[in-house]
A = this chain, B = another copy of it.
Amino acid sequence: MIIKLKKNIDEVLKNNIIEKLDNIGYKSNDVTTQYADYIIGVGSKEFDIREVGVLNGVEDIHRVTSSAKLVSRKWKTKETIIDLGDDIKIGGGHFQIMAGPCSIESEKQIETTVRHLLDNNIKIMRGGVYKPRSSPYAFRGLGIDGLKLFYKYCNANGIKIITEVMMTDQIEDMYEYVDIFQVGARNSQNFNLLDALGKVNKPVMLKRALSGTIDELLASAEYIFSNGNEDIMLCERGIRTYEKAYRNTFDINSVPLLKKKSHLPVVIDASHGVGIREFVEPVSLAGIIAGGDAVITEVHEIPQIAFSDGAQTLSHKEAEIYYENVRKTVRFRKDLKRF
């Protein structure tokens, strides 16, 4: 059960509601986000929700029985819009392309990428400075200094930054330089990291785990929301299956299902979802047709010399055609009737 509280509710009224829930046999979870105050009631007894609805201080009340509550579309039917400022928005009809290299490699590379993005009217740059790598001996990213460089160029050119955060301790240092915190697939159920990102007032893009279910992804998003941060995007990036013809199997089914189950925007990561350069475009367009609110795509001036993920990265030249097709497809889908 989700109870949205009136703005600036008096503590007495709030305690009154909690006490009422307690009497009915529901455990209360206090949730305060950047936008509102909620009480999440967890329990299984049947009762007439109007008993609570009539209490002073209650803005509205909804019964949500699934374990994902605040992120559920059953409660909030309007799509969440992530507002990054400067009129850059994702969700609720707003579409964005996020592009850039797998890893931030050098000042020169940042410069080149920023120019490429400006030339193509892309507003959000991706790039890792903390890289999760299976081998401890592999390149693990330029770290906070790389991020500062990244920020210098993007900030000067009105480009927003999305980059991966791997641990709670990094959040504070990164905060100033980041527009969207990305949670990687391997950290999709790192609940302490999710808790901490729930306490930050910056958008979070949460990737599905390597073999995460839809329900687990929503439950992970619920961690962030219930800790206080409503600005969450879900990212489909392919799942692990028996098929070895591609790096991952992009789960196209998840896109319309996530859109139906949740009010949060869904981001398409076809670079990881298929892992083969020439198929990034058809899979991205498929994800858009199926309902995606954004794409996040690896591009590099010369993919062959990228520090990581070269095989799934588009060259800047290829990317230009890609962006055009993405935009055409976004426009096209508005023509489709829905039944």
Residues from chain B with a CB closer than 8 A to the CB of A251 are 241, 243, 249
Q: Tell whether A189 pairs with B256 under 8 Å between CB atoms, given A240-B211, A240-B242, A286-B290.
A: no
Pair B242/A213 contact, Cβ less than 8 Å: yes
Complex Cα–Cα for A16 and B49 (A)? 55
Interface string of A154-186 (1 = CB under 8 A from B): 000000000000111100000000000000001
Residues of the B chain whose Cβ atoms lie less than 8 Å from the Cβ of A278: 256, 260
Q: Which of B42, B134, B289 contacts A285 (CB 8 A)?
A: B289
Q: Which residues of the other chain, B, contact A109 by a CB distance below 8 angstroms?
A: none
| Cα(A135)–Cα(B253), bound, Å | 23
Known pairs A29-B137, A290-B283, A325-B337; A243 contacts B239 (CB<8 A): yes
Using an 8 Å CB-CB cutoff, how does the interface string of A293-326 with B read, 1 for contact, 0 for none? 0000000000000000000000001100110110
Contacts of A124 in B (CB 8 A): none
Contact A282 B274 (CB under 8 A): no
Residues of B within 8 A of A135 (CB): 67, 219, 222
- CB-based contact A42/B137 at 8 Å: yes
Q: Which chain B residue has the least Cβ–Cβ distance from A67? A: B135
Specify the chain B residue showing the minimal Cβ separation from A222.
Answer: B136
**Bound: A226/B134 CA distance, A:** 13
Return the contact of A283 from the options B187, B216, B240, B256 (Cβ within 8 A). B256
Interface-facing stretch out of A52-60, A98-106, A328-336: A328-336
Contact of A318 among B238, B241, B250, B339 (CB under 8 A): B339
Cβ–Cβ contact B257 & A245, under 8 A: yes
22 contacts between A and B (CB under 8 A): A27-B137, A42-B137, A134-B216, A136-B195, A136-B226, A136-B227, A168-B168, A190-B190, A210-B211, A213-B243, A214-B243, A241-B251, A245-B254, A246-B257, A255-B286, A286-B286, A286-B287, A289-B289, A318-B339, A325-B336, A328-B336, A329-B336
